[in-house]
Chain A
């Protein structure tokens, strides 16, 4: 690359940034959220309240936040990555001591009128921290044991703090999201093979510890595992959710039972039909056509972001995009696998579709970062 060429490249600035926004991504996000509004309207029995309307407002707010984050220069995000990570770790520790309890778990931190869910924040900050770490790290050291361990620590510490809340689903998303960044940064294969081996060992340990004094998970989490392994075991207890979900999903058929005609959802056989199990409702009412088209939209988002990551010249930006989209993928893949009976019920929402505030805002912040990385890199004038 010649000096001349270098000079001809430039970074978009000011209002010009609008032209460099990844507009296909914005359109796809709106389309996916649209599925959410329709389904939330349906599960409320054809009412905008209590879910569809607040969700719409929240998504609008999310879009605004996304654009704000997007237009802030990437270097700013890189420079605060370490600080943001440290703050979220402190908040997670705060939850440990001052958190408020709800639904058998301690997840919330109340600071004055604010209700924070630090575990949601940690999803993004962990990715930011790792992306910044690998941007800073000498490329030659990428696969050195000490530096790999340090990276692993960055991912594992928040995950462990979240497991203790306990929130297995989110912890897993944090750890795996971090793993995606480490993987994308080019760490040697052998480490991942070792992690896989260790993972098998941990699963064995978790299962073996059951009923002993050092039992690792809570009883209800074990019951979920049991129900996952054999939902028919206890159709009214632990396996109820999965069974009913599969019935709803399967009964949708090719084109579904019709908008607002899903009996499983309408008659409340579906648990959490507006949150974790909203995909089931979609599959019941719009069938294979509706469900697979949503999956397609998600994969298009993945594709668009992958292109963006391949094109960017910023290492930080590319890693950030890979991490955020990797987490996004885990969200919907785990959620769908869960409602289809392929994964345990871990309480992961369907991104942008499930009703819920903090997850949506955090995701939109994430996509804001993706957009920022997309906008803020030097390119040849077109």
Chain B
């Protein structure tokens, strides 16, 4: 548009005025920015500098090396293994599915592994490293390193992880470790900060759990510079942690292995104890499980398999299993009667095969009766009627007292989980728990280890050790390798003449022709054994079953059959070991438990598979066949090498 000069001048004036105005507004804004800059950079610099440092520096805890667990001879039971693992971070990986599928082509990964890694990555913040695979070998790690460009966010790492070189042998004793759970943390008042380390593992059961404080050690620390996604850029300084202390057990790994293999195929438990010191040499609960599975994170299929197994592999039957002791309890009743002066032990009782008490007929296990028996014969032949008589004479209170004195009904303070107290029923107990008076029938049942009486295999071993040594032996599982002098146990103060009777009864049980365990006798000089069988009823055969033709135990389903028990000590003249064996639903103590007890006792005495010469000549062929089969399952001697100097 053509403009006049006046208009042009006017236009220029307006633009100049407005331009200058705009300029001053802009200058004002710039001044505000400058003022803000000055405020932040000069007045608050310190504060922001501190925040920047906080951002940059991370304090990281260094996990301490966990203490090792050894058996009594220095065989490694729990160690730390260097292994390679692969961790992955979501934010570096980008497409995690793609990277995981590439990874699966390089190393063996199951669907489960991949799914778990995916889930962990999505659940955690994107920069948190998640372990995808563990225990990789050098080849696998090299393959990953070589393909690193195709695997963004994937880093190989080296670390220590727990391993149990003897696999299932000591699973119930040593236990296993696992990742710290929310519940573990809640249970602690002031949790050790080391527990917050991702993937840190603590004892979950057994000695691993009970000796956690000893084994764990103290965390070290490391100050590192991290970037925004948490990646460590460099280390600023580091203080090494203190490794945990080693733990030495009284267990003899070789005997433990033998005992467990001897129980093979059964749901059973065996305990071997030193009668003088209380050292537990073997604590075998079969079937067992591989604790290494738990360290790696057991798959749900494996775990379900363990839970659903009717032999209950996860249960430590030696201290957790509660069994009516049956006839193995008869030594208690006998001693109670002796102490109450209810009998001199020589006096005989006539056994017609039953006894009528308070309008109820109590049977002897031998329907035809034992005829006239004294205490020794009553023990050896396990005559029930004799003990019905004795218990009536001395009463339940005396039996309780003796039972406690022999170590039953007591919860032993052992560094393993789920140790049970068993049950030593008293009048008060019945009043409190059953809301009923104690009846004479209860006493009769208790006299032969039935009714309310419940014991663990460990308690039976303690009882046997106390009978063999006349000392108040207490079981122990931890051994201080520096402690040279053995513990001195208090005397049990049982009169020698009483003990002579009891021991005589136990010797005859195994070595007298009419003894219940005569077929499990030992013939080797100096290794002779004394014991007591027990068969305890779980269910009685019902009338309906009897009418259906079920008369024998074999006809019952497995889980309704009687438990088989056997306790023994050896050698007879100079007792060293006490052994207790329980075979769940094994039907007969003499047939199922006694042979196992004999073999384990002989293994303890001989330091390995017993020589055939210890067995009666007619049995040797059969025993040899059994031994050959067993030897194949035994762990190789290399695995039992002493690894401690």
Which residues of A approach B to under 8 Å, CB–CB?
1, 135-139, 180, 183-186, 244, 246-254, 263-264, 266-270, 283, 287-288, 291-292, 295, 298-299, 302-303, 306, 309-310, 313, 315, 318-319, 322, 326, 329, 333, 336-337, 340, 342
Given A135-B1, A246-B40: A315 touches B45 (CB 8 Å cut-off)? no
Q: Please determine whether A287 and B41 come into contact, CB atoms closer than 8 angstroms.
A: yes
Given A250-B44, A268-B229, A306-B23: A139 touches B52 (CB 8 Å cut-off)? no
Whether B105 sits at the interface, judged by CB under 8 Å, is no
Interchain nearest-CB distance for A80 vs B (Å): 17
Q: Please determine whether B8 and A333 come into contact, CB atoms closer than 8 angstroms.
A: no
Instruction: List 5 extra interface pairs beyond A186-B14, A247-B48, CB under 8 A.
Output: A252-B45, A283-B41, A291-B37, A322-B22, A337-B36
Chain B residue numbers with a CB within 8 Å of A310 are 15-16, 19-20
Encode B590-612 as 1/0 by CB contact (under 8 A) with A: 00000000000000000000000
Which of A137, A184, A250, A322 has the most B CB atoms < 10 Å from its CB? Answer: A250
Whether B488 sits at the interface, judged by CB under 8 Å, is no
Q: Please determine whether B228 and A288 come into contact, CB atoms closer than 8 angstroms.
A: no
Given A250-B44, A315-B11, A340-B36: A186 touches B29 (CB 8 Å cut-off)? no
Chain B residue numbers with a CB within 8 Å of A342 are 32-33, 36
How far is B45's CA from A291's CA once the two chains are assembled, in angstroms? Answer: 14
Whether B47 sits at the interface, judged by CB under 8 Å, is yes
Chain A residue numbers with a CB within 8 Å of B49 are 250-251, 253
How far is B311's CA from A262's CA once the two chains are assembled, in angstroms? Answer: 65
Chain A residue numbers with a CB within 8 Å of B44 are 250
Interchain nearest-CB distance for A189 vs B (Å): 10
Q: Please determine whether A302 and B26 come into contact, CB atoms closer than 8 angstroms.
A: yes
Given A136-B1, A251-B52: A315 touches B15 (CB 8 Å cut-off)? yes
Chain B residue numbers with a CB within 8 Å of A267 are 55-56, 225-228, 233
Whether B18 sits at the interface, judged by CB under 8 Å, is yes
How far is B225's CA from A341's CA once the two chains are assembled, in angstroms? Answer: 26
Given A299-B27, A315-B11, A322-B22: A249 touches B226 (CB 8 Å cut-off)? no
Q: List 19 A-B contacts (CB under 8 A).
A: A1-B5, A247-B55, A248-B48, A250-B45, A250-B48, A251-B48, A253-B45, A267-B227, A267-B228, A267-B233, A288-B41, A292-B37, A295-B34, A295-B37, A299-B26, A306-B20, A315-B8, A318-B19, A333-B26
Chain A residue numbers with a CB within 8 Å of B48 are 246-251
Tell me the interface secondary structure of chain B in the complex: helix
Q: Please determine whether B22 and A250 come into contact, CB atoms closer than 8 angstroms.
A: no
Q: Please determine whether B37 and A269 come into contact, CB atoms closer than 8 angstroms.
A: no
Q: Please determine whether B51 and A247 come into contact, CB atoms closer than 8 angstroms.
A: yes
Given A268-B227, A329-B26: A291 touches B52 (CB 8 Å cut-off)? no
Chain A residue numbers with a CB within 8 Å of B30 are 295, 298-299, 333
Q: Please determine whether B3 and A250 come into contact, CB atoms closer than 8 angstroms.
A: no
Q: Please determine whether B47 and A263 come into contact, CB atoms closer than 8 angstroms.
A: no
How far is B226's CA from A269's CA once the two chains are assembled, in angstroms? Answer: 10
Chain B residue numbers with a CB within 8 Å of A136 are 1
Chain B residue numbers with a CB within 8 Å of A303 are 23
Chain B residue numbers with a CB within 8 Å of A322 are 15, 18-19, 22
Whether B42 sits at the interface, judged by CB under 8 Å, is yes
Q: Please determine whether B55 and A184 come into contact, CB atoms closer than 8 angstroms.
A: no
Q: Using a Cβ cutoff of 8 Å, how many contacts connect chains A and B?
A: 150
CB closest residue in chain B, given A329: B26
Chain A residue numbers with a CB within 8 Å of B189 are none
CB closest residue in chain A, given B52: A251
Of the residues A248, A291, A313, contact of B8 by C-beta under 8 Å:
A313
How far is B10's CA from A283's CA once the two chains are assembled, in angstroms? Answer: 44
CB closest residue in chain B, given A136: B1
Interchain nearest-CB distance for A167 vs B (Å): 23
How far is B51's CA from A295's CA once the two chains are assembled, in angstroms? Answer: 25
How far is B42's CA from A251's CA once the two chains are assembled, in angstroms? Answer: 9
Q: Please determine whether B41 and A249 come into contact, CB atoms closer than 8 angstroms.
A: yes
Of the residues B7, B32, B45, B233, contact of A254 by C-beta under 8 Å:
B45
Q: Please determine whether B51 and A288 come into contact, CB atoms closer than 8 angstroms.
A: no
CB closest residue in chain B, given A253: B45
Whether B38 sits at the interface, judged by CB under 8 Å, is yes
Q: Please determine whether A183 and B33 come into contact, CB atoms closer than 8 angstroms.
A: no
How far is B10's CA from A291's CA once the two chains are assembled, in angstroms? Answer: 40
The 5 lowest CB-CB distance pairs between A and B, nearest first, are A250-B48, A267-B227, A186-B14, A253-B45, A251-B52
How far is B11's CA from A138's CA once the two chains are assembled, in angstroms? Answer: 11
Whether B12 sits at the interface, judged by CB under 8 Å, is yes
Q: Please determine whether A180 and B22 come into contact, CB atoms closer than 8 angstroms.
A: yes
Of the residues A186, A250, A295, contact of B41 by C-beta under 8 Å:
A250
How far is B295's CA from A291's CA once the two chains are assembled, in angstroms? Answer: 56
Chain A residue numbers with a CB within 8 Å of B29 are 329, 333
Q: Please determine whether B227 and A269 come into contact, CB atoms closer than 8 angstroms.
A: yes
Given A183-B22, A329-B26: A263 touches B15 (CB 8 Å cut-off)? no
How far is B12's CA from A287's CA once the two chains are assembled, in angstroms? Answer: 41
Chain A residue numbers with a CB within 8 Å of B36 are 337, 340, 342
How far is B5's CA from A127's CA once the two chains are assembled, in angstroms? Answer: 25
How far is B591's CA from A154's CA once the two chains are assembled, in angstroms? Answer: 106
Chain A residue numbers with a CB within 8 Å of B34 are 292, 295
Q: Please determine whether B15 and A340 come into contact, CB atoms closer than 8 angstroms.
A: no
How far is B55's CA from A268's CA once the two chains are assembled, in angstroms? Answer: 11
How far is B55's CA from A50's CA once the two chains are assembled, in angstroms? Answer: 26
How far is B50's CA from A253's CA once the two chains are assembled, in angstroms? Answer: 12
CB closest residue in chain B, given A288: B41
How far is B396's CA from A265's CA once the two chains are assembled, in angstroms? Answer: 83
Q: Please determine whether A318 and B228 come into contact, CB atoms closer than 8 angstroms.
A: no
CB closest residue in chain A, given B3: A139
Q: Please determine whether A263 and B41 come into contact, CB atoms closer than 8 angstroms.
A: no
Q: Please determine whether A306 and B19 come into contact, CB atoms closer than 8 angstroms.
A: yes
Of the residues B15, B55, B56, B227, contact of A319 by C-beta under 8 Å:
B15
Q: Please determine whether A318 and B5 come into contact, CB atoms closer than 8 angstroms.
A: no
Given A186-B14, A295-B33: A250 touches B47 (CB 8 Å cut-off)? yes
Given A135-B1, A247-B48: A254 touches B40 (CB 8 Å cut-off)? no
CB closest residue in chain A, given B125: A236
Q: Please determine whether B52 and A309 come into contact, CB atoms closer than 8 angstroms.
A: no
Given A250-B45, A251-B45, A340-B33: A137 touches B1 (CB 8 Å cut-off)? yes
Q: Please determine whether A183 and B37 come into contact, CB atoms closer than 8 angstroms.
A: no
Interchain nearest-CB distance for A218 vs B (Å): 23
Q: Please determine whether B11 and A288 come into contact, CB atoms closer than 8 angstroms.
A: no
CB closest residue in chain A, given B23: A306
Q: Please determine whether A249 and B228 come into contact, CB atoms closer than 8 angstroms.
A: no
Chain B residue numbers with a CB within 8 Å of A248 are 48, 52
Q: Please determine whether A252 and B19 come into contact, CB atoms closer than 8 angstroms.
A: no
Interchain nearest-CB distance for B114 vs A (Å): 28
How far is B56's CA from A79's CA once the two chains are assembled, in angstroms? Answer: 57
How far is B32's CA from A337's CA once the two chains are assembled, in angstroms? Answer: 9
Chain B residue numbers with a CB within 8 Å of A337 are 33, 36
Chain A residue numbers with a CB within 8 Å of B14 are 185-186
Interchain nearest-CB distance for A341 vs B (Å): 8
Chain B residue numbers with a CB within 8 Å of A270 are 228
CB closest residue in chain B, given A255: B41
Interchain nearest-CB distance for B100 vs A (Å): 25
Interchain nearest-CB distance for A38 vs B (Å): 18
Chain A residue numbers with a CB within 8 Å of B32 are 342
Interchain nearest-CB distance for A178 vs B (Å): 14
Which of B11, B38, B52, B56 has the most A CB atoms < 10 Å from its CB? Answer: B52
Q: Please determine whether B33 and A186 come into contact, CB atoms closer than 8 angstroms.
A: no
Chain B residue numbers with a CB within 8 Å of A252 are 41, 45
Chain A residue numbers with a CB within 8 Å of B40 are 246, 249-250, 340
Q: Tell me the residues in window 470-498 of chain B with beta carbons closer than 8 Å to chain A beta carbons.
A: none
